[in-house]
Structure 1
């Protein structure tokens, strides 16, 4: 069985959007989070969003590099067995 040929861009985008939604949903509760000592929830959501943006760019570059490699002819002409 062959693995799925997935580039990860869509997965990273969905995850990043979910982290952003979580961060926005927590902003109105900043005071409550601070009172309960759970303000790290907001910072964790913001970190997830930021790292997700980096992950999207990484996956895009990887996808583009793989597509470019498929377009290039093999170097040296013939392949050895």
Structure 2
């Protein structure tokens, strides 16, 4: 039976390419950027809500995104050493 080159790594693990090393990412910058975007969206939606141009649901979504972003920044602060050690 002839194996396709695309299926060869599935049948024979020895022909697999080595996995690339993970890149080190500064999670604080990533979480801060996303949280800032949610805060900006929250401000825009609040203004639109004050002008009666949108409903309450977008406001709830923006508040949830902001709260999750703050929680992720808190998590990053307490686990910074762990994930930086693993990224080396």
TM-score (norm 1): 0.68
Kindly name which structure, 1 or 2, has the bigger radius of gyration based on alpha carbons: 2
| Offset, 1:64 | 3.2
Aligned length: 65
Aligned match for 1:61, one of 78, 81, 84 = 78
Q: Which runs of 5+ in 2 are unaligned?
A: 1-19
Q: Which has the higher contact order (CA 8 A, sep 6+)?
A: 1
Whether contact under 8 Å (1:19, 1:48) holds in the other structure is yes
Q: Which runs of 5+ in 1 are unaligned?
A: 71-81
| Offset, 1:66 | 5.1
Over 3 Å counting, the alpha-carbon distance change for 1:66 and 1:26 in structure 2 is closer
TM-score (norm 2): 0.64
Aligned match for 1:33, one of 54, 58, 66 = 54
